Amino acid sequence: MADGEARTLDLKEPQVLLHFPNDAGGFFWHHRLLLEKTAPGVWIGVTPDGDIERINLNQAQHVPLDRRADFPHAQAPYVYAFDPIPRADLESYRRRAKVMANLFNDAGVEEIQAFEWVVADVTRGDFGEIVHEDEVEDGVILRDSALVERDGEEVYVRRIPAADRVAWIERKEKTKGDIRLLGDHRDGQGKRFLDFKAGVTLMRNTELEDWPLAGPRAVMEYLTAVREGATDMTSYHLNWSQSSGVSHFSAAAHEHKVLCDMIRVGIATDQLDLSNLLMAEITIRRLIQIEMAVARNPSAPDYSGLDLVMEQPVGVSGQAVTLGFNNWSLVAGDLEGQPAPGMSKDGEDQPSRVQRVGRALNRLAGYKFETPLPQHSHRPPTAVQNDLLQRAKALIAEAGPCPDGYLGKDALQDLMRSHNLYEGEPGNLACYDPEKLKILRSGLKPRSLVELLPPHVLPLLRRRQAHIERAPKEFEEFKAANPESCPRQPYWDPTLRADSQLRTDFLKRLHKVGVVGFRKRIRSKVGIFFVKKKTPDAIRMIIDARITNAHHRHPPITRLGSASNFADLDLSSESLSERLDQPEEEIGWGTEMDVSDCFYQFQLRLMVWYRLPQSGE
């Protein structure tokens, strides 16, 4: 239903407005899309409600419309118009209109081409099988391609003419087994074309034993990030060039554009699985190298030390790069406390320790790589690198010599010596006390989490059965492999478990503040217990959702940025020298803050997974 700002459809078929003077809703002009002509002035068309009908323009008052234009000013306030028509629905309307047109035409009946959805992934055993329309409707449709769920997996399917199915399968079979190809994909005009997002989805990133590069492959990670944040490589280059601050006329921007175009045509036209091509890997690494250099200095990109990204067999000064031997000598020397070749034998030698710090910083700069590769740049250090080295020298001098027998390996083990807070039995359990539970006295007004999620996350939530929830078979396999992660019964506070009346009162209190609701069907059950808080007059409510968690796949790691704020604190002796000279002077102070009831500020309706016991249980 359209208002004054609606526009006509951007389609090749003719469009008209038909006059309905007696419309009860006040929409006196109805939009029609004319699909098949059966006689002069007589058409088969479709209504905004999706109905196919015969339209006689010779007898009906009508107004012709332009393509993708505003409705006529006089009729615009009274138009009953189309919403945007999905491509799959439009193709269905065209087929149905052609069938009806055959009934009214005097000419011979034209054969109507039928279409079928088939599995298009040549690596699957069910390749070429017909997929039912109901399965496709529950999937994600993009033109003549779709992603559907089969046996808990996302499967790529395509819509092809039924008469051409055998020939299409034979043509696709020719590419079967070649992991460098994505298949043969064509647009409506028969030209080779594969959408960027669909192409990235089809990539497999197959393990190759003879892959010559040591670090993890970057193509899949890079293209996936581009797919989530941009439409295609062209849009990505434009966004990068505008956001990075690099000059549009610089060599770096020009090379970045050329490399992005190479990746674009490699997917759209050549239809190559770039994740399995060494050529594409080197191209992507060069893109990463350019972006890292520009991020350092947009006006004069700084490539110092970035030859690590390319892993060239010969360094910039012409020396052979012996990564394996160099890694062994550096890692062995650092961890075992033995000097690497060319270093001082004195373990307490300050220059030697500064060298180790420099190598450690270089390896941290290449954090994306599994193997700590040495830097081979012979350019002079940048201003930032000089500052870091001077800082390292000052800290080493301030710390003094290492303790006797204390090696680099020992220091690393001390840093890693900690306990996982999410494993083991809790040591601070508390008994239920409604007077100490703050949530029972809170006036909560949670906001719907769906309203706050970014657009690219919403599809994952709406299709959580495919992306988040485990299929029954997958759940049973996980349960068998991880029995400790899925107990038979959740843990309950002993006081509430033993006293059904107290438990009923507790549930009523939770319902009163809006935390508990009611459902007829529940898929998983949870328990509730309590732990002590910092203050003795308060306890915290904990949900034992291990069974529910076992029904869902593990979420991605959440990267919190609060710890990085400590990097802005300058506690060096230089900055504190004046205060350190005065024993009674306070050097500094710290505090903390907390978001009140943060967990309860957002609402997502998942009651089916959180069953609490009835009063009689």
List pLDDT tens digits, range 433-487. 989 998 888 777 778 888 888 877 788 888 888 888 888 888 888 888 888 788 8
Question: Is residue 143 situated within a structural domain?
Answer: yes
> Which own/partner pairs from 323-330 qualify as long-range (CB within 8 Å, at least 24 positions apart)?
323/214, 323/371, 323/373, 323/374, 326/374, 327/371, 327/372, 327/373, 327/374, 330/359, 330/372, 330/374
Token match 């074309």: residue?
A: 193
What local confidence, expressed as pLDDT, does residue 602 receive? 79
What local confidence, expressed as pLDDT, does residue 335 receive? 44
Tokens of 448: 């719907």
Residues 6+ apart with CB under 8 A from 113: 95, 161, 162, 163
Alpha-carbon span 337 to 348, nearest angstrom: 10
Alpha-carbon span 30 to 524, nearest angstrom: 50
Question: Is residue 38 situated within a structural domain?
Answer: yes
Q: Is-contact 527 594, C-beta < 8 A?
A: no
Is it the case that residue 34 has pLDDT exceeding 70?
yes
Say yes or no: 550 and 467 in one domain. Answer: yes
Tokens of 261: 């175009």
Q: What is the mean pLDDT of residues 37-63?
A: 92
What local confidence, expressed as pLDDT, does residue 530 receive? 92
The model's pLDDT over 92-101, given as tens digits with 9 standing for 90+, comes to 888 889 888 8
Please, which pLDDT band fits residue 217 given cuts at 50, 70 and 90? Answer: confident
Window from 113-127, 321-335, 530-544 with minimum mean pLDDT: 321-335
Alpha-carbon span 415 to 406, nearest angstrom: 13
What local confidence, expressed as pLDDT, does residue 111 receive? 56
Question: Is residue 515 situated within a structural domain?
Answer: yes
Question: Is residue 472 situated within a structural domain?
Answer: yes
What local confidence, expressed as pLDDT, does residue 290 receive? 92
More confident residue, 17 or 511: 17
Is it the case that residue 610 has pLDDT exceeding 60?
yes
Counts for the chain of helices (H) and strands (E), in that order? 21, 16
What local confidence, expressed as pLDDT, does residue 369 receive? 46
Say yes or no: 513 and 364 in one domain. Answer: no
Q: What is the mean pLDDT of residues 181-201?
A: 85
What secondary structure does DSSP assign to 85-125, as a single string?
PPHHHHHHHHHHHHHHHHHH-SSPPPPPPPEEEEE--TTST
Residues 6+ apart with CB under 8 A from 537: 436
Domain end point (choices 104, 126, 158): 104
Say yes or no: 356 and 407 in one domain. Answer: yes
The model's pLDDT over 366-376, given as tens digits with 9 standing for 90+, comes to 544 444 444 44
How many structural domains compose the chain? 4
The model's pLDDT over 110-138, given as tens digits with 9 standing for 90+, comes to 555 678 889 888 777 788 889 888 788 77
Single-letter amino acid code for the residue at 269: T
Q: Is-contact 285 293, C-beta < 8 A?
A: no
Q: What is the mean pLDDT of residues 189-200?
A: 88
Say yes or no: 460 and 542 in one domain. Answer: yes
How many CB atoms neighbour CB 567 within 10 A? 7
What local confidence, expressed as pLDDT, does residue 344 receive? 40
| Alpha-carbon distances of 221 from 262, 263, 278, 458, 498, rounded to whole Å | 17, 14, 15, 21, 52
Count the alpha carbons within 13 Å of 12 in the hemisphere toward its beta carbon: 3
The residue segments making up the domain with residue 407 are: 323-412
Q: Is-contact 539 436, C-beta < 8 A?
A: yes
Residues 6+ apart with CB under 8 A from 499: none
What 3-state DSSP class applies to 519?
A: coil
Question: Is residue 233 situated within a structural domain?
Answer: no
Say yes or no: 407 and 446 in one domain. Answer: no
Is it the case that residue 338 has pLDDT exceeding 70?
no
Tokens of 257: 């554009």
Domain end point (choices 61, 76, 104): 104
What local confidence, expressed as pLDDT, does residue 107 receive? 47
The model's pLDDT over 582-604, given as tens digits with 9 standing for 90+, comes to 666 666 667 777 666 677 777 88
Tokens of 481: 């492999």
- How far does Cα 139 stand from its chain's mean position? 18
Tokens of 3: 């208002």
What 3-state DSSP class applies to 139?
A: coil
Say yes or no: 393 and 496 in one domain. Answer: no
Say yes or no: 399 and 524 in one domain. Answer: no
Q: What is the mean pLDDT of residues 210-216?
A: 80
The model's pLDDT over 394-427, given as tens digits with 9 standing for 90+, comes to 887 777 777 777 777 777 777 776 555 444 455 6
What 3-state DSSP class applies to 446?
A: coil
Please, which pLDDT band fits residue 343 given cuts at 50, 70 and 90? Answer: very low
What local confidence, expressed as pLDDT, does residue 342 receive? 40
Say yes or no: 358 and 444 in one domain. Answer: no
Question: Is residue 569 situated within a structural domain?
Answer: no
Domain end point (choices 177, 196, 224): 177
What local confidence, expressed as pLDDT, does residue 64 receive? 94
Alpha-carbon span 52 to 35, nearest angstrom: 9
Question: Is residue 309 situated within a structural domain?
Answer: no
Say yes or no: 433 and 538 in one domain. Answer: yes
Window from 4-8, 241-245, 262-266 with minimum mean pLDDT: 4-8
The model's pLDDT over 259-308, given as tens digits with 9 standing for 90+, comes to 999 999 999 999 999 999 999 999 999 999 999 889 888 888 888 767 66
| Alpha-carbon distances of 508 from 260, 440, 538, 614, rounded to whole Å | 60, 10, 20, 11
Say yes or no: 390 and 530 in one domain. Answer: no
Residues 6+ apart with CB under 8 A from 202: 121, 156, 182, 183, 273
Say yes or no: 94 and 125 in one domain. Answer: no
Q: What is the percentage of the chain residues whose pLDDT exceeds 90?
A: 18
Please, which pLDDT band fits residue 517 given cuts at 50, 70 and 90? Answer: confident
CB neighbour class for 247 (10 Å; exposed up to 12, middle 13-18, buried from 19)? middle
CATH number at residue 97: 2.30.30
What secondary structure does DSSP assign to 203-260, as a single string?
------TT----SPP-HHHHHHHHHHHSSSHHHHHHHHHHHH---TTSHHHHHHHHHH
What's the CA dihedral at 452, 457, 460, 462 to 10 degrees? 30
Question: Is residue 276 situated within a structural domain?
Answer: no
Q: What is the percentage of the chain residues whose pLDDT exceeds 70?
A: 78
Is it the case that residue 571 has pLDDT exceeding 80?
no
What local confidence, expressed as pLDDT, does residue 260 receive? 95
What local confidence, expressed as pLDDT, does residue 42 receive? 92
Identify the top-confidence range among 205-214, 470-479, 563-572.
470-479
Is it the case that residue 554 has pLDDT exceeding 50?
yes
Nearest CA to 450 among 460, 441, 435?
460
Q: What average pLDDT does the structure give for the chain?
A: 79
What local confidence, expressed as pLDDT, does residue 43 receive? 93
Say yes or no: 604 and 477 in one domain. Answer: yes
Pairing relationship of beta strands 140-142 and 145-150 according to DSSP bridges: antiparallel
